[in-house]
Amino acid sequence: MKEFDYFRPSSLDECLKLLDQMRGRARILAGGTDLLVRLKHDMIREDNIVDIGRLDELHGVHVDGGDVHIAPLTTHNEIVESGLCDEVPVLKKACAQVGSPQIRNRGTIGGNVVNASPAGDTIPALSVHGAHVKLKSIDGERTIPIEELFTGPGRTAMRDNEILVDIVVPTIANGEIGFFKKLGQRNAMAISIVNIAVILSMNRSSKIIERAAVAVGSAAPTVIRCIEVENLMAGSRIDSAERLWEIAMKIRDRVSPISDVRASARYRAEMSANLFYEGMLELGVI
């Protein structure tokens, strides 16, 4: 492991100044569950580590208007246990499936997002919830849709002096239902072969879907929204398993996964469809 200088700012302002001074030469440390693995494998270019663990203003959940604000240092377990996060149920389900109790106690949602792994479990969930991320630097702040944050595997649109300060997740509307599913090689401590998040607003009695959001992870360089599938479902009713298959196949055609030791690209593509199919049946859409 290489040597680095370690900073632990005690206020966000101090942190922003530090980041600005060390543009591109500093790496933020939150829970460290991703960063430390990389540090150990000498995969980190930067020589300075900025530990944001003491910045209380970046921690916690609150509701404002129709949005749940999740500060980036909030851990997966805190989200799982937060009553306020009942309003963002698909995200809650995703957080509950991250790693293991130890990882969920240590790993933060901000780390999961900025890490920008194609397999990051909270990302498809945040996408279907319509989440935005707020980025801040000494120059000011900006808020962008979560999908726009990602430019490639492990790459984000963040500027080299910016920090993620808030994740804004609209609360789920009345009558909306959804699911998060991940397929890993085992039931815990598993990196997703594929994961999928879906939110539907569906009329309970007529089963007509008014609006749908579908996001798939680990099946392309970044999370993908399946707009065609969403449009296909909007305003219609899925009246048979055959019809559901047809829709699922569109997801398979939309993804562009890679092959690695965990799974082949072909399997990943088929699983993106099959997880969708399974999740929709479990939701009772037919």
Partner 1 sequence: MDLKYVGKDIPRVDAYEKVTGTTKYMSDLSFDGMLWGKVLRSIHPHALIKSIDTSKAKALPGVEAVVTWEDVPGLNGFGIAIQDQPVLCKDKVRYAGDAVAAVAAVSKEIAEEAALLIEVEYEVLPVVDDPIRAIEPDSPKVHESGNILLHTEIRKGDIDKGFDEADLIIENTYYASRQEHAFLETEDGIALIEEDGTLTVYAGSHYPHRDQLQLSRCLNMPVEKIRVVSSPVGGAFGGKDELTIQPIMALLALKTGKPVKMVMPREESIISYWKRHPMIMIYRTGVKRDGTLVANDVKVYADTGAYASLGGPILNLALESSCGLYRIPHVHIDGYSVYTNNGISGAFRGFGVPQVTFAMESQMDIIAEKLGLDPIEFRRKNILKKGEVAPIGHHITTDVESEAVLDAMEGSRLWRERERYRGTDKNRPWIKRGVGLALSWQGMGLGVGLPDFGDAVIEMDPDGGFIVRVGCVEIGQGAMTVYAQVAAEALRFPIERIRVVIGDTRNAPDAGPTTASRAAYVGGKAIFLAAEEMNEKIKGYASGMLSVSPDEIEIDDGSAYVKTAKDKRVSYEEISSYAIERGGLPVAEGHFDLPTADKAIEGAFGLPHHIYSCCGQIAAVEVNTLTGQARVTDGAVVVDAGTVINQGGLEGQSEGGFVMGTGYALTEDLIIENGVVKTPNFSTYIIPTSKDMPSSIETIPVTNYESTGPFGAKGIGEIGMVPTAPAVTNAIYDAADIRVFKIPATGERIYELLKQKKGENK
Ligand X SMILES: Cc1cc2nc3c(=O)[nH]c(=O)nc-3n(C[C@H](O)[C@H](O)[C@H](O)COP(=O)(O)OP(=O)(O)OC[C@H]3O[C@@H](n4cnc5c(N)ncnc54)[C@H](O)[C@@H]3O)c2cc1C
Q: Does 31 bind ligand X (CB under 6 A)?
A: yes
Between the alpha carbon of residue 183 and those of residues 29, 119, 121, 197, 262, the distances in Å are: 28, 11, 11, 12, 11
Residue 154 per-residue DSSP state = T
Mask 181-220, x = binds ligand X (CB under 6 A)? Answer: --------xx------------------------------
How far, in Å, CA of 50 to CA of 15, rounded?
8
Q: Does 186 bind partner 1 (CB under 8 A)?
A: yes
Residue 47: HSE in the Cβ half-sphere, 13 Å Cα cutoff: 1
Which residue lies nearer to ligand X by CB, 27 or 229? 27
Q: For residues 189 and 160, is the Cβ–Cβ distance under 8 A?
A: no
Q: Does 281 bind partner 1 (CB under 8 A)?
A: yes
CB of 109 to ligand X, least distance (A): 6
**Among 85, 69, 187, 177, which residue's Cα sits nearest to residue 133?**
69
Q: Does 99 bind ligand X (CB under 6 A)?
A: yes
Cβ-proximal residue to ligand X, closest one: 111
**What is the DSSP pairing of strand 132-137 with strand 67-70?**
unpaired
End-to-end distance of the chain based on CA atoms, in angstroms?
A: 54
Q: Does 144 bind ligand X (CB under 6 A)?
A: no
Size of the site for partner 1 (CB under 8 A): 24
Q: Does 26 bind ligand X (CB under 6 A)?
A: no
Q: For residues 26 and 48, is the Cβ–Cβ distance under 8 A?
A: yes
Q: Does 84 bind partner 1 (CB under 8 A)?
A: no
Residue linked to tokens 């789920």: 172
Which residue lies nearer to ligand X by CB, 117 or 201? 117
Given candidates 79, 125, 133, 163, which one binds ligand X under the rule CB under 6 A?
163
Q: Does 274 bind partner 1 (CB under 8 A)?
A: yes
- Locate 166 and state its tokens: 């808030």
Interacting residues with partner 1 (CB under 8 A): 1, 100, 183, 185-191, 193, 261-264, 267, 270-271, 274-275, 277-278, 281-282
Interacting residues with ligand X (CB under 6 A): 27-35, 37, 72, 98-99, 103, 106-108, 110-112, 114-115, 120-121, 163-164, 189-190
